[in-house]
Amino acid sequence: MKELDNFYLNQQEPLRSCYLALRQIILDCDAHITPEWKFRLPFFYYKGKMLCYLWKDKNTNEPYIGFMDGMKMVHPALEQGDRSRVRIFRINPDKDIDKKEISDLIKSAISVNPNYLKK
């Protein structure tokens, strides 16, 4: 089994279900999005370039989506923290995931990076 698959399977509930749902929501946004294993994290690439990744806050254990060019994105729930390029979107694993909001964020992440739009 691949390390990427193991990442999802080795998570405790409710994180496992949350990560698996996020994975599917992200992949359903565009046919050019592919899952990858990078830096020991589940990453998502768009046309071969890093788009976003899944991880959890080390203090709260709360999952989040990290957007690689998040500093170019505008959304009230995105957090910069001490990151220079990445902004995160926190997910409450005990509540329903807003699929439309995630989809809108993914589309926004794609649109703000001109490198994604090149062939």
For the chain, the domains span: 3-117
Cβ neighbourhood burial of 82 (10 Å; 0-12, 13-18, 19+): exposed
| Percent of the residues in the chain that have a pLDDT greater than 70, as a whole number | 94
Which tokens is 61 given? 């254990």
Q: Please give the mean pLDDT across all residues of the chain.
A: 91
Q: State the pLDDT at residue 45.
A: 96
- Give the chain's end-to-end CA distance (angstroms, integer): 32
Pairing of strands 87-90, 78-79: antiparallel
Report the distance separating Cα 89 and Cα 75, nearest Å: 9
Tokens of 115: 């490198």
Q: Using DSSP, how many helices (H) and how many strands (E) does the chain show?
A: 4, 6
What local confidence, expressed as pLDDT, does residue 1 receive? 55
Residue with tokens 């990442």: 7
CATH class of 3-117: alpha beta
State mean pLDDT over 91-110: 93
Q: Count the alpha carbons within 13 Å of 90 in the hemisphere toward its beta carbon.
A: 13
pLDDT for 17-49, tens place per residue? 999 999 999 999 999 999 999 999 999 999 999
Q: What is the pLDDT of residue 80?
A: 87
- pLDDT, residue 119, reads 55
